[in-house]
Amino acid sequence: MASEKPIVAVTCTAPVNIAVIKYWGKRDEELILPINSSLSVTLHQDQLKTTTTAAISKDFAEDRIWLNGQEEDVGQPRLQACLREIRRLARKRRSSGDEDPLPLSVSYKVHVASVNNFPTAAGLASSAAGYACLAYALARVYGVESDLSEVARRGSGSACRSLHGGFVEWQMGERADGKDSVARQVAPELHWPELRVLILVVSAEKKLMGSTVGMQTSVETSPLLRFRAKAVVPARMAEMTRCIKERDFQGFGQLTMKDSNQFHATCLDTFPPISYLSDTSRRIIHLVHRFNAHHGQTKVAYTFDAGPNAVIFTLDNTVAEFVAALRHSFPPESNGDKFLKGLPVRPAPLSDELKAALGMDPTPGGVKYIIATQVGPGPQILDDPHAHLLGPDGLPKPAV
């Protein structure tokens, strides 16, 4: 028999993902089942990640959660759905009989602490990494080994795609109970090593309309969204998978831009209309198309989620020149040295021809900063006990 420890704690990290075929619209609000499949790229955790510690103990009186150091309401329905689901899976495993009878840990209350290594206020998709990390940490601490798609999905739909590294599809599934609505890896992390990702942080403001309410209104009112889900996305999923498997950047980039544009078109087709793009977002779109036209091929592609920040895909041999074009079009206002974060980018000259081809007046400060990153792995367990965000008393360690 293992000796009973007062506290069992696990700490994990999980990545952010960016969809290149967008999820927008649910067919079941409670189970979070989508109206179409989607496909994403997992970003590297060296630049963007959530870290979560989950700890259980028979001495805990109630479930509790702290996000970025602040205690939050553990009663919120999506969090409750995740906790219920993980405990159901844990019980199922115990009762299947293939396990040593474990301590009564399924009935133990859990304490959770979670932090992001990037500003939540930057408007980057933090809920996907957050719920994927929660699902992963809860699974480890309660001894669950089954597919975690459902647990993460019940927190936030896009979170199930953050359970894997590389390139990931969320198959919409057909069943009413959602058992076949799962995330699967399409290609592993190291499949396309030249691919690079630039996050252009345009605005740090909180968005006007969250994705959950936004997509609900779109489902209710947009005929274009219905058409997209039925008639457009299935073929795009197949085509995007092919582009990724063959490392066809032209095809990948064009389809990524078209799908982002169609998602934003469905937002405008929603009534009352939703607009997530800002003037700067539109300037970035313009810049990308001018840049590609100058080169006579798709060298750079943009995608936008439910906010004005752009995510750019390109290949390693184009990063330096495109960043120079960005610096030219959006001269950094005050923080010139902090304009570029993440992977190093060497300075590159901008030819007069390209400058002329871009044909836009510079907008100082339009892009606040850039995070350069690449494709990365799925959730990880941190073995070092020093990594725990909760102390031996089950409460958040004071920030150092």
* Site of interaction with ligand DP6 (CB under 6 A): 19, 22-24, 32, 38, 125, 127, 156-158, 211-212, 305-306
State the nearest-atom distance from the C-beta of 30 to ligand DP6, in Å.
12
Query: How far is it, in rounded angstroms, from Cα 235 to Cα 55?
Result: 44
Q: Which residue in 321, 311, 361, 39 sits closest to 169, CA to CA?
A: 39
**Nearer CB in complex with ligand DP6: 22/299:** 22
Within the chain, strands assigned E span: 8-15, 17-21, 26-28, 33-34, 38-42, 49-57, 64-67, 70-72, 109-116, 167-170, 183-187, 195-201, 300-304, 310-315, 340-342, 369-374, 380-381
Tell the smallest beta-carbon distance from residue 184 to ligand DP6 (Å).
Answer: 15
Residue 141 contacts residue 54 (beta carbons within 8 Å): yes
Query: Considering beta carbons, is residue 111 or 164 the nearer one to ligand DP6?
Result: 164
* Cα–Cα distance for residue pair 67/113, rounded to 1 Å: 6
For the chain, the C-alpha Rg in angstroms (whole number) is 22
**Is 149 in a helix, a strand, or coil?**
helix
Residue whose structure tokens are 């190093």? 344
Closer of 141 and 310 to ligand DP6 (Cβ):
310
Q: Which is nearer to ligand DP6, 137 or 172 (CB)?
A: 172
As measured in angstroms, the least distance from the Cβ of 215 to ligand DP6 is 6
Give whichever of 159 and 389 is closer to ligand DP6, judged by the CB atom.
159
Cα separation of 295 and 226, whole Å?
36
Is the Cβ of residue 110 or residue 128 nearer to ligand DP6 in the bound state?
128
CA distances from 209 to 105, 213, 215, 296 (A): 40, 7, 10, 37
Rounded to a whole number of angstroms, the minimum distance from the CB of residue 276 to ligand DP6 is 8
- Tell me the closest approach of the beta carbon of residue 136 to ligand DP6, in angstroms: 17
**CB of 289 vs ligand DP6, minimal distance in Å:** 21
**Eight-state DSSP code of residue 208:** S
Contact 342, 47 (CB under 8 A): yes
Closest contact distance (angstroms) between CB of 226 and ligand DP6 is: 17
Question: Among 132, 196, 205, which Cα is nearest to 342's?
Answer: 196
Q: How far apart are CA 315 and CA 253, in angstroms?
A: 10
Q: CB-wise, 137 or 168, nearer to ligand DP6?
A: 168
H or E element in which residue 266 lies: helix 249-269
- Best CA proximity match to 47, nearest among 13, 4, 80, 98: 13
Residue 10 CB, nearest approach to ligand DP6 (Å): 24
Residues 6+ apart with CB under 8 A from 227: none
Closest CB to ligand DP6 among 86 and 125? 125
Q: Which residue is nearest to ligand DP6 (CB)?
A: 157
CA gap 200, 309 in Å, rounded: 6
Our CB check for ligand DP6 shows the closer of 6 and 210 to be 210
Nearer to ligand DP6, 182 or 323 (CB): 182
How far apart CA 24 and CA 361 sit, in angstroms, is 34
Minimum CB separation from ligand DP6 for residue 150, in Å? 13
Nearest approach in angstroms of CB 363 to ligand DP6 is: 25
